Structure 1
Amino acid sequence: MGGTVPYLTVDDGRAALAFYAAAFGATVGERYDEEDGRIGFAALDIEGAPVFVSDEAHDYGAYAPRTLDGHGTAAVVLAVADCDATYAQALAAGATQDRPPAPLPDGGRGGWLVDPFGHRWLVRSS
């Protein structure tokens, strides 16, 4: 696999996998669950784009935004076929609107939202 893959740390892995499926149509490929029930690793596919997800693992320095008072240090840009439809679907699944879909400077269209786990997403289409 080449390129860059976002690896999101969440505070409720099972709920996150359900949200990403409902919001973005994500499917889960490879997955590893810890003995205590936490998700150690899950590989998602969202419209052909890979995204990795795991529960927090403080011993590895992996903290979720909600644990850090809702602050994250990066955002995910998700290219989709229909920005408005995907954005609405994500809101219906539980995301919070940041900035609604609008024209982007490069001629595309995009809108910002925050998932229930504190990660910011730019959902965009060409």
Structure 2
Amino acid sequence: MFRKYLIDLSLILVAIIWALNFSIVKVSLREMDPYSFNALRFIFATALLSYAAHKRGFSLKVKKEHFWKLVAIGILGNVFYQLFFIIGVNYTYAANAAVMLGTIPIWVALLSQFFTDE
């Protein structure tokens, strides 16, 4: 029973953190340029996630045949996404960015009709 509540509380905490992300980014961009801010985010996130993976006994080793695919996915899915996110938030209100990103699942569902067989 306790585990169920812990999972629910964890999901609520994640939703709150994601919601605060837009405001924190907007305020932070008043103090530093988008590229420096993103570099700091990547450094701290990499350190934190690497520590968590190590603490839980997960291996971060990548097979040679997967290395370049992982690099490509990382650049496309993280570097470009975060770069455009930070630049976009810099030019609009945090609420606008939150609404736009909140509609991504709708856009994915609509565009998948044209680009996939799903």
TM range (shorter): under 0.3
Query: As a proportion of its length, which structure holds more strand?
Result: 1
TM-score, normalisation: structure 1: 0.23
TM-score, normalisation: structure 2: 0.24
